[in-house]
A = this chain, B = another copy of it.
């Protein structure tokens, strides 16, 4: 008898009921006994020296329980270890962006806290400020941090092969400069933090986050509290998209207030504060040059990418690198030079974003298509020509294992009728393609792996303990499904305790597609350990050797004779009666080169595996209004082996909305350091009525390392839909848009310019 599998079958996510009914508790919903409410006083200046802060009036206001300024901090600064640490998380001496934390108050009510904030008297000496990459790097620009000459924060340099020589051998060369504006992450959930510090020195924190253990470690360092006394708690999270990857000032001030007041404190940011005072997405500018042989083989690439990092380092070393990596993981690059520069400006610090380096990826699409056009090749064929395959090495030395890239290109093309459509649709209608890979996990030193454990109750039901965090992707559902499938019990028999640093072993966090591949693997191994313990007892009870036993639907049976069987629930009771209760553990450490890191040695194995996706998008451009409408999207995702197809498909719909529709309209508008559209009326979020038809295909490559062959689900789709739209707009209009987002204004301007030049194509 063979087991039935839970895998590959679409079912509703386990977290769905709570979210649909409103039962799910988000941080802002929390109410703790004796809880105080916090408000933050923020800098009105983009750059200024703090001359004095007088909190005396605020402190003496009735109902105020704590007031803090930079003086209450412990002198530690945040930044990714061991790189640049420059952010005190509450201003000391200087403010560096509008919205920066200057002081904070905890009071009995929000109203009192607000009143107290207004009573704090800060005297500033305004300083000259810089906002753009050009301003920041210009000669004589004001220095925002003493240690960064010309405001250059981070420089990532990668040089593989002989780029200059290769360009000399190229038959065709293209060169482009591409920019993308800053964005907000626009999570539906406004940022909120609840912190509770108790007399025994224990700090409890509820906060939307992408990796609880990474967050607790940062707070432990910053607050000088032992790691085991800082607990990030599980809480429902309304989105992350990379923007909740790291500790931020709001976490820090809320904790400080609770430490000072010795009471729980809640800080809920307004939507405007969430825009201006949590992480933002880097705006950037990339110069790039590509050389290819006549047959389409790309032989040389040269990049200079500039990232506007805002006022602080944040996760800069990673953000400045990953755009390059996701590209080198897609195509063969025998000769490549990448220089990534992150520049400090007087804007809010910019962090990781799931859509890695928009301008960078757009530029690559443009260049691939332009070379194809110059050589008379189909853009699809040039992608296939250069695509990496299983067994290939990336430029920086990562071996690709499972690889569905070529199949995804062919599948998306065939589903969309690519050959019949590209270059052949009526004017103002076009089709485009985008392909990209992504690493599942990345180097985090000894923290790159994940560990899980599982306990069994007397009914043979299990609880899985894993730090896996679910920001909306369905990671909780994934963990439960993997455990149920591995052990052979119904999904309803699997409980989950996750995303809580006290309850769980280390996990790198839901960054860079680690969840299924790394964390899911740990869960699978813990479940295998439980299964081994169950089968050992069953073997002795049934007198059947372990190799002839399996478990399905909570029953252990002999595979050669299912009538020989015993319930897992009975095994659990037997184990308890033997004083040998069933607890299993499992850990997974991806095959990452131990000495690979972000700046000094960006060579070796980057990640345990890579996943691949291709999107074809069809658009319609209205030449009167400049509005681009995405009509159809076809996508083919190599997710290794889909654990729950519905979850992946749901993510893909989200990617199309966010990265596709969003690519046409999302941008922060600035007046120097001031965000002008810090609300959901003026900041143009995609609407459901804008969602195109999406045809999805999951490609199964059965990754040799992934749990049940699974790897990343849909992030690559997010990047590719943007790329495909850019390419489709070109196909519809003959115009390469090199500034993003692709707003109607930019389309109209480009159409006008094209008309003026009287040319078919601005190559």
Would you give the 0/1 interface string for A560-598, flagging 1 where the beta carbon is closer than 8 Å to chain B? Answer: 000000000000011011111101010111000010000
B residues in contact with A199, CB < 8 Å: 17-18, 20-21, 23
CA distance A217 to B572 in the complex (A): 15
With contacts A505-B455, A581-B505 known, is A492 near B226, CB below 8 A? yes
4 further A-B pairs in the complex, CB-CB below 8 A; given A23-B198, A446-B574, A451-B576: A21-B199, A23-B262, A226-B461, A226-B492
Q: How far is the CB of A569 from chain B (nearest CB, A)?
A: 9
B residues in contact with A506, CB < 8 Å: 457-458, 576, 581
B residues in contact with A504, CB < 8 Å: 455
Q: How far is the CB of A106 from chain B (nearest CB, A)?
A: 16
Cβ < 8 Å to B, chain A residues 618-663: none
| A589 CB contact (under 8 Å) in B29, B449, B577 | B577
CA distance A594 to B506 in the complex (A): 40
CA distance A436 to B205 in the complex (A): 48
**Chain B residue with the shortest CB-CB distance to A33:** B29
Please count how many residues in chain A sit with their CB below 8 Å of the partner chain's CB atoms.
58
**Which one of A1-9, A306-314, A495-503, A676-684 is at the B interface?**
A495-503
Q: Taking the complex as formed, is A599 at the interface, i.e. its CB lies under 8 A from any CB of chain B?
A: no
Q: How far is the CB of A308 from chain B (nearest CB, A)?
A: 34
**Chain B residue with the shortest CB-CB distance to A199:** B17
Q: Taking the complex as formed, is A75 at the interface, i.e. its CB lies under 8 A from any CB of chain B?
A: no
CA distance A457 to B20 in the complex (A): 35
Q: Taking the complex as formed, is A25 at the interface, i.e. its CB lies under 8 A from any CB of chain B?
A: yes
B residues in contact with A446, CB < 8 Å: 458, 573-574, 576-577
CA distance A445 to B227 in the complex (A): 40
Cβ < 8 Å to B, chain A residues 527-574: 573-574
CA distance A503 to B496 in the complex (A): 10
CA distance A585 to B584 in the complex (A): 9
With contacts A14-B200, A17-B198, A506-B457 known, is A449 near B493, CB below 8 A? no
Q: Taking the complex as formed, is A447 at the interface, i.e. its CB lies under 8 A from any CB of chain B?
A: yes
**Chain B residue with the shortest CB-CB distance to A585:** B583
Q: Taking the complex as formed, is A459 at the interface, i.e. its CB lies under 8 A from any CB of chain B?
A: yes
| A18 CB contact (under 8 Å) in B25, B200, B227, B503 | B200
Q: Taking the complex as formed, is A453 at the interface, i.e. its CB lies under 8 A from any CB of chain B?
A: yes
Q: Taking the complex as formed, is A31 at the interface, i.e. its CB lies under 8 A from any CB of chain B?
A: yes
| A453 CB contact (under 8 Å) in B31, B583, B589 | B583
B residues in contact with A228, CB < 8 Å: 457, 459, 461-463, 493, 495
CA distance A217 to B451 in the complex (A): 29
Q: Taking the complex as formed, is A122 at the interface, i.e. its CB lies under 8 A from any CB of chain B?
A: no
B residues in contact with A451, CB < 8 Å: 576, 581, 583
Q: Taking the complex as formed, is A427 at the interface, i.e. its CB lies under 8 A from any CB of chain B?
A: no
**Chain B residue with the shortest CB-CB distance to A196:** B23
**Chain B residue with the shortest CB-CB distance to A494:** B228
Q: Taking the complex as formed, is A30 at the interface, i.e. its CB lies under 8 A from any CB of chain B?
A: yes
* Contact (Cβ within 8 A) B30 A33: yes
CA distance A504 to B503 in the complex (A): 10
CA distance A573 to B459 in the complex (A): 35
CA distance A226 to B458 in the complex (A): 11
CA distance A669 to B525 in the complex (A): 61
* Contact (Cβ within 8 A) A447 B226: no
CA distance A492 to B227 in the complex (A): 11
CA distance A228 to B503 in the complex (A): 17
CA distance A589 to B25 in the complex (A): 39
**Chain B residue with the shortest CB-CB distance to A495:** B228
**Chain B residue with the shortest CB-CB distance to A455:** B505
CA distance A588 to B217 in the complex (A): 34
B residues in contact with A502, CB < 8 Å: 463, 495, 497
| A447 CB contact (under 8 Å) in B18, B20, B576, B580 | B576
Cβ < 8 Å to B, chain A residues 8-42: 14, 17-18, 20-21, 23, 25, 29-33
What would 15 A/B residue contacts be, using CB atoms closer than 8 Å? A23-B199, A31-B32, A31-B33, A226-B493, A228-B459, A228-B461, A228-B463, A228-B495, A451-B583, A453-B453, A457-B501, A457-B505, A497-B503, A506-B576, A579-B589
CA distance A597 to B635 in the complex (A): 65
B residues in contact with A578, CB < 8 Å: 589
CA distance A281 to B614 in the complex (A): 73
* Contact (Cβ within 8 A) A445 B577: yes
CA distance A502 to B17 in the complex (A): 20
Q: How far is the CB of A71 from chain B (nearest CB, A)?
A: 26
Would you give the 0/1 interface string for A466-509, flagging 1 where the beta carbon is closer than 8 Å to chain B? Answer: 00000000000000000000000000110101000111111000
Would you give the 0/1 interface string for A233-262, flagging 1 where the beta carbon is closer than 8 Å to chain B? Answer: 000000000000000000000000000001
B residues in contact with A573, CB < 8 Å: 446
B residues in contact with A457, CB < 8 Å: 227-228, 501, 505-506
B residues in contact with A449, CB < 8 Å: 576-577, 579, 581
**Chain B residue with the shortest CB-CB distance to A29:** B33
Cβ < 8 Å to B, chain A residues 27-64: 29-33
Q: Kindly name the residue among A262, A492, A576, A588 whose own CB sees the greatest number of chain B CB atoms within 10 A.
A: A576
B residues in contact with A447, CB < 8 Å: 458, 576
B residues in contact with A576, CB < 8 Å: 446-447, 449, 451, 506, 587, 589
List the 3 closest pairs (A to B, CB-CB), nearest first.
Answer: A579-B589, A451-B581, A228-B461
With contacts A453-B453, A576-B506, A589-B578 known, is A458 near B227, CB below 8 A? yes
* Contact (Cβ within 8 A) B505 A503: no
CA distance A332 to B349 in the complex (A): 79
| A594 CB contact (under 8 Å) in B227, B577, B594 | B577
**Chain B residue with the shortest CB-CB distance to A217:** B458
| A579 CB contact (under 8 Å) in B21, B198, B463, B587 | B587
**Chain B residue with the shortest CB-CB distance to A14:** B200
CA distance A501 to B458 in the complex (A): 11
Q: How far is the CB of A558 from chain B (nearest CB, A)?
A: 25
Cβ < 8 Å to B, chain A residues 209-237: 217, 226-228
CA distance A23 to B493 in the complex (A): 36
CA distance A763 to B656 in the complex (A): 95
CA distance A445 to B228 in the complex (A): 36
CA distance A580 to B497 in the complex (A): 20
Cβ < 8 Å to B, chain A residues 425-474: 445-447, 449, 451, 453, 455, 457-459, 461-463, 465
